[in-house]
Amino acid sequence: MIFAGIDPAARERNITGIAIINEGRIEIYSAHRDDEIIKKIEKYEPSIVAIDAPMSLEDRNVDIYLRKYGALSLKIPAMQELAKRGMRIKRILENKYKVIEVFPTATAKILGFYDMKKKNMLSYFGEKFDIAKVRNEHEVDAIIAAYTAFLYAKGECVEMEGVVFPREK
């Protein structure tokens, strides 16, 4: 199975991270425009696409729950922008792929590998890819998003109001 992770920026002019887990290997990319993101995902035809963006314009119970892991309120204008873009990307992709909402910071904290220096978290994934190729924190979040999709496929996650994250230990 192939898994994709997307860490979209709220605006197209900013960097969006994309990660693909394919047969134990991780490919990473950066993009800007929605069409670039969609094209990259379609190239790999993943079983599951995990998007690190809220899929709601209003705070849900799950958003309040995830604040203990650092989630921001959807009342913040930048989060509104991110949610709108995330929902737009989801609408395009869900016609072909299973799309889930994830929060990589929660995944990292629940699994115990969170580090404020995002690149340090990549050591959790061992030798599966060349860490030096990771150019920015958006690609790190995309990798963790794709990994959350992998865990979801293995039945190791919970889903609360549409948001997928690993079971707490």
Convert the pLDDT of each residue in 22-35 to its tens digit. 987 889 999 999 99
CATH of the domain at 120: 3.30.420.10
Other Cβ atoms less than 10 A from the Cβ of 167: the count is 11
Q: Show the domain range for 122.
A: 2-166
pLDDT at 129: 64
Phi first, then psi: give them for residue 98, nearest 5 degrees: -75, 125
What is d(CA 85, CA 11) in angstroms, rounded to the nearest whole number?
8
Q: Are 86 and 8 in contact (CB under 8 A)?
A: yes
Residue 130: per-residue pLDDT: 65
* Cα–Cα distance, 116 to 83 (Å, whole number): 23
Round the average pLDDT of the chain to a whole number and report it. Answer: 94
Q: How far apart are CA 161 and CA 93, in angstroms?
A: 19
- How many domains are there within the chain? 1
pLDDT given for residue 65 in this prediction: 93
Give the tens place of pLDDT for each residue, 116-128: 999 899 988 876 6
Q: Given this model, what pLDDT does residue 168 score?
A: 86
Spans of the chain below 70 pLDDT: 127-132
